[in-house]
Structure 1
Amino acid sequence: MKAANAPLIYVSHGAPTFALDNTSIAASNLKEQGKELRNVKAIIAMSPHYTTSSLTINTTQQHRIVHDFYGFAKPLYELTYEAAGHQTFAEEVARKISASNLPVTTTSQAHLDHGIWIPMRYLLPTSDVPIIQMSYPASWTLEQLEILGQCLARLRLEGYAVLMSGGVSHNFADLKTSSEPASYVNRLRESLFYYVKSKDTDGFKQYVRNNSDVKRAHPSFEHFAPFYVAYFSAHPEDHVDIFEAPIELHALAMDSITWKFVE
């Protein structure tokens, strides 16, 4: 695989119980998407469950996972994922992002949260590619997140795959059992798929800022931010594969997307 072929993957990581749901359509989708990660330099990964004020990049050589959830069955806490980091690559990523006048710090002490290690168990169970963990910079503006995406697009050209883990919808107040999918979630999915396929950047930015379905699905922005960054990490020539999955519990969308070069 050429360095320029490094893919961009967006996943909806759902609830922590997704880690045990290995026969679901969403899990099967991630297993298929993970085939793109076998020959990349490293994986730059962001999850909303590691949040800092500004961007922080983990320079550890060996990740430690954290079971950062409470009240679930014991088997969930027995799961693990062994993954290497890479100090040199992490420092290179930090330098190149900071060159775009974005504030970046580094640490070697962050733990790999469930927004990364749970989907990675499906994407790359062999865990043989270094992961460069980034925080979600909660104080950043949409303009800064857009620039971050553009930085990641350039890093893809150097062989770094990008993994953005969040949720197409994430309003837990709307979750219900034995219910039809929420109409606003269906509309949101269709709109996001349209903007990903059409590459209508101006329309996408207006939609995110103004649409009531986005605000209903995301009362707070952190679980949508990885999708926003992913949108701007794509290249115009990318081939887009959308992996649809059933909406769970009325309002929890589990779709995922891969952008990749096709020769």
Structure 2
Amino acid sequence: MTQPALFIAHGSPTLAIEQNAYTSFLRQLGQATLKPPRAVVIFSAHWDSPDQWLTTDRRHETLHDFYGFPEEMYRIRYPAPGDPELSEEIGSMFHANNLHYRLSEGRGLDHGAWVVLRAIFPEGNIPVVALSVDSKRSPEEQYAIGKMLTELRRQNVLIIGSGGLVHNLRMIGDEDSKPFPWAVEFDDWIGEQLEGWNLRMLFDYDKKAPHVRNAIPPYGREHFVPLLYAMGAADDDRQAVKLFQDYRCGCLSLNCWKFGAEDEDR
């Protein structure tokens, strides 16, 4: 069984308690679209570190790494199992590619991971290995780290990058704001490069993409880079398909991209 790689926008933490078109899409993704994976490997924007970390837990705690949200959100638990054997395999892949890595036990799943996974796999019974991102690495390096894990997709492991293509909290509008034209133009440009697998342009997005300073502020780069990690994991089968697109508050982009072909697509 071959799984795709996915980039999934996790939006606001309130996604965990919302009922809307995006949460319906994510439920459908897990219930009907995806074949059940044996495990999930997830790169989260909320684990940004110059070191490459991966979890080794047998059971994950739930991190409530946000402030000022409804009390019910702090009562949510998503105690997904880990997969230490898969963690060891990932470590071997990193070692073979001369990537220094560190092991984390007991960190827990941050909301960039569990909010998305809970929406897709609500039973919480699929093993999860969480990995950090490094927003200060070059796009080429971020893509290359994802590429190191390509073989896992052919072992029925789903690889996810969780972040947000347009994620500038200082520019969000009202809840009922229509999508801001600059946000749409940026998303459309990124989409064109993804569909053409145009790595030259994507790796130079910081200079080439329209409205890039609005879409990816210097303090928010970590939300964009999970896209490159997920995309790299499908380097052997360069297909990109947008599965969903919507906006909240004018410029909080909610989208999902699928990279690589599944068995049924071959």
Do they superpose with TM above 0.5? yes
Indicate yes or no: 2:243 matched with 1:247.
no
The aligned residue for residue 14 of structure 1 is: 11
The aligned residue for residue 210 of structure 1 is: 208
Q: 1:31 aligns with which of 27, 32, 43?
A: 27
Superposition deviation, residue 36 in structure 1: 5.2
* 1:33 and 1:258 in contact (8 A); partners too: no
One-letter amino acid matched to 1:257: W
What percentage of residue pairs aligned between the two structures are identical? 24
The aligned residue for residue 201 of structure 1 is: 199
One-letter amino acid matched to 1:192: I
* 2:183 and 2:251 in contact (8 A); partners too: yes
Q: What do you get for the CA RMSD once the two structures are aligned?
A: 1.8
* 1:166 and 1:224 in contact (8 A); partners too: yes
* 2:197 and 2:240 in contact (8 A); partners too: no
Superposition deviation, residue 54 in structure 1: 1.1
Structure 1 gap ranges (5+): none
Distance 1:57 1:164 in 2: 14
Helix, strand or coil: the match of 1:246?
A: strand
Distance 2:5 2:195 in 1: 14
Further displaced range: 34-43 or 175-184? 34-43
The aligned residue for residue 144 of structure 1 is: 141
* 1:9 and 1:33 in contact (8 A); partners too: no
Indicate yes or no: 2:86 matched with 1:92.
no
Further displaced range: 233-242 or 69-78? 233-242
Cα deviation digits, residues 180-214 of structure 1 (max 9, x gap): 32111101111122122111222222334433423
* 1:184 and 1:213 in contact (8 A); partners too: yes
Distance 1:123 1:141 in 2: 30
Q: 1:129 aligns with which of 126, 129, 133?
A: 126
Cα deviation digits, residues 201-237 of structure 1 (max 9, x gap): 2222233443342332111310001012222222464
* CA gap 1:17/1:140 in 2 versus in 1, 3 angstroms: same
* CA gap 1:37/1:243 in 2 versus in 1, 3 angstroms: closer
What pairs with 1:100-119 in structure 2 (closer than 5 Å)? 100-119=97-116
What pairs with 1:35-114 in structure 2 (closer than 5 Å)? 35=32, 37-114=34-111
* 1:37 and 1:161 in contact (8 A); partners too: no
Q: 1:172 aligns with which of 169, 173, 176?
A: 169
Helix, strand or coil: the match of 1:76?
A: helix
Distance 1:30 1:98 in 2: 34
Superposition deviation, residue 49 in structure 1: 1.0
Further displaced range: 150-159 or 30-39? 30-39
Distance 1:135 1:255 in 2: 21
Distance 1:39 1:15 in 2: 26
* CA gap 1:36/1:63 in 2 versus in 1, 3 angstroms: farther
Distance 1:36 1:91 in 2: 29
- What is the number of equivalent residue pairs in this alignment? 259
Superposition deviation, residue 104 in structure 1: 0.9
One-letter amino acid matched to 2:88: E
Distance 2:236 2:184 in 1: 26
One-letter amino acid matched to 2:163: G
